[in-house]
Structure 1
Amino acid sequence: MKTLTLGVGLVGYGLAGQVFHAPLINATEGMQLAAVVSSDADRVHADLPGMEVLPKAAALFDRRDIDLVVIATPNDTHYPLVKAALAAGKHVVVDKPFAVTLSEARMLRAQADNADRSLSVFHNRRWDSDFLTLKELIDAGSLGRVVSLESRFDRFRPTVTERWRDNHRPGAGIWYDLGPHLLDQVVQLFGMPRAILLELATVRDGAEVDDDFHCLLEYDGLRVSLLASSLVADPTPRFRVHGTRGSYVKFGQDPQEAHLQASLAVMPGMGVDPEPGQLSLVADEEDVPEVQQHLNLPGDYPAFYAGVVEMLLHGGPPPVSLESALQVMELLEVGLDSYRQARWLRLKEGNSQLRQRLHRR
């Protein structure tokens, strides 16, 4: 019996296309990267000798050997490119964020439904080592009832670049760059919040767009803080979580991005994070917490595209549901409204998943 293989076309060969999508696609059984759309053929050929490079996305969408199109381009191009790919009858993966606005994302979902095509958003940090470890601790109830979670993604990049993310254009800035990662992880843990408060700042010399944010999410009995900055040189905790039975603190970043940047290939063991977290727990009869190192579960970025193959070839569930991707878009957009109005804003529906978790306990 012949093994089915999906022909894949990649649109964009910047950081996302080069470091994440191309290596992960090439490492996925059941996928064949057939062509790349890029204005820099030399860059593509330096990494992928012999790869067909097309100058325009339309030429890729017209090809009958392409089953799946992957969009890894600047955020403000997601909507028109995904729309055109779906209209050409292709299944689509789009890098996060889904689009620049919630209305664009909703229109793309409706188009995919009407065309009976698959559409998924690359929320790869669901498969971060530290996040998988934290999720396991929370799901197991190890920390008791969680009352506080701080999630940070700090960098030290004092020089403003000429990259599109640093230019004044729709979808640029750190809120649309790192915000989707942190928001998606929290929604996976606790569902939608009851309210959101966002503060944005432009802190670097010569910066045109936001490069620092502090976001608060309100749940029943739980406060979540999300922070990201381009001007933090000292190590900060990736996660700091407190519950009724103890705390979990994790420093250091998931290693998969660094491995992919260094090798442009999926390597064995690249999801293993050697820096353990610190777990401080109390026994039922004790008040003094016992402090111990807590080893991490391995990260698994290849799981996303393996899930895409399972979905398209075998009828499995999507690795990232459109509903969850739309929830992230809603939080991004309501967060911006909160910043503009300088006040907390309530979500229409939130906290249902957390209520279910607390009820089970």
Structure 2
Amino acid sequence: MSKTYNIGVIGYGMAAKVFHIPLIAVTPSMKLHTIVQRTPTASNSASKDHPGVKIVPSVDELFADPEINIVIVTSTPETHFSFTKAALEAGKHVLVEKPFVPTAAEAQRLIEVSQQTKKLLCVYQNRRWDTDFLTFRKLQREGTLGRLVEFETHFDRHRLDRPETWKGTLGMDQAGGVVYDLGTHLIDQVVVAFGMPQEVTGVLANQRGDEGEPDSMTALLRYTQGKEKGLLATVKAAVISPETAQLRYWVRGTKGSFKKYHLDVQEDQLKAGMKPGDEGYGIESNDMSGRLVVMEGDTPKESIWTNVEPESYAALYQQFAKAIDQGASEAVPVKASEARDVLRIIEAVRESARSKKTIVL
């Protein structure tokens, strides 16, 4: 029987309230023990929302508490490196929100600290557990589409106003903006499915037309060797996209194609107060299903292709708890080394956009 781990959460914004505390609540081996909230307000008070939980104003109190086993870092990304390093050195296992840290070099340093302290480090790349991504992965494993030649992954929206959160106010050097917010998710899925690309071409633009950081990106990730040789992965995130149904995936291969619209429903369900295990959690309506085309001789045949059964974002927490039980760094569901490699690609996207050249990794 696994032990119960006391959890300390740094930050009390949307990430903590929507993506982490509800998942802690449905993970049997985890107990919410402490929340760090520096400036509570009448409308945003951790003590009011969680009367049985210890609320502290500083991370130092959290790190010094011997009862805390795991620290969840949900603060803004420019704080991730210092908070994660301090937590590891205080003898805590750590789960960090994405984007992991601003640079691949910082990621590598935290990997080294994790190894030195013998504490496990995980990154919250929850969209590996998007049900439509798992559906594509099943098609990929079974070879339904044949040899894949193009994989498009989109996170497009129509939002004319720049957000006032870190996503719209922090510069890219602090891991702010679209490349680190949405690009992290999209690129991580590509690496999970296909491994590291060999060439990266990036275009960053400001579709809103203001003077802020780039708010849209297109990245071309080319595979020129290995079993994925010939594959082109296109990663796109846009803020000017007036559509009734936003494209999410378009995958093409020698035997067929798969096209999916709409975003995975789990985020909206969590925002509405649902939790994994609730009836209907993670299940989208039939009209959101993807379309599968397979070749029958020379004729393409289309069918509606519903998602696989949801695993839910809670799987990440459950697998991290199991890795800690076993003391097995290789069992961590999203390894810091994988997040580091995603940052390497992001840095190549930025350099390509700056130099207007393709970057060879």
Range 62-71 or range 202-211, more displaced:
202-211
2-side partners of 1:123 and 1:18: how far apart? Answer: 17
Match of 2:176 in 1: 172
2-side partners of 1:337 and 1:263: how far apart? Answer: 41
**1:46 CA drift (Å):** 4.3
1:102 aligns with 2:99: no
Q: Is the 1:41–1:53 contact (alpha carbons within 8 Å) kept by the matching residues of 2?
A: no
Q: 2:282 aligns with which of 253, 267, 271?
A: 271
Instruction: Give a deviation string over 1:265-321, Cα, whole Å, max 9, x none.
Output: 4334311122211000013xx110111001101331000000011111234511112
1:18 aligns with 2:17: yes
Q: 1:309 aligns with which of 313, 321, 325?
A: 321
Range 203-212 or range 330-339, more displaced:
203-212
**1:322 CA drift (Å):** 2.5
Range 204-213 or range 87-96, more displaced:
204-213
Instruction: Count residues in correspondence.
Output: 344
Identity of aligned residues (%): 36
Which 5+ residue runs of structure 1 have no aligned equivalent?
Answer: 348-361
Q: Is the 2:256–2:295 contact (alpha carbons within 8 Å) kept by the matching residues of 1?
A: yes
State the TM-score, normalized to the length of structure 1.
0.92
After the TM superposition, which residues 312-351 of structure 1 pair with which residues of structure 2 at under 5 Å, given as runs?
A: 312-315=324-327, 317-347=331-361
State the TM-score, normalized to the length of structure 2.
0.92
**1:27 CA drift (Å):** 1.1
Q: Is the 2:84–2:96 contact (alpha carbons within 8 Å) kept by the matching residues of 1?
A: yes
**1:327 CA drift (Å):** 1.3
- Superposition CA RMSD, Å: 1.5
**1:338 CA drift (Å):** 1.2
Instruction: Give a deviation string over 1:33-68, Cα, whole Å, max 9, x none.
Output: 101111243522343233221111111010011000
Match of 1:352 in 2: none
2-side partners of 1:45 and 1:232: how far apart? Answer: 40
**1:14 CA drift (Å):** 1.3
2-side partners of 1:223 and 1:265: how far apart? Answer: 36
1-side partners of 2:48 and 2:300: how far apart? Answer: 54
After the TM superposition, which residues 111-260 of structure 1 pair with which residues of structure 2 at under 5 Å, given as runs?
A: 111-169=113-171, 170-206=174-210, 208-219=212-223, 220-234=229-243, 235-260=245-270
Q: Is the 1:18–1:264 contact (alpha carbons within 8 Å) kept by the matching residues of 2?
A: no
1-side partners of 2:253 and 2:47: how far apart? Answer: 51
**1:168 CA drift (Å):** 4.0
**Secondary structure at 2:67 match in 1:** coil
Q: Is the 1:201–1:210 contact (alpha carbons within 8 Å) kept by the matching residues of 2?
A: yes
* Regions of 4+ moved over 6 Å: none
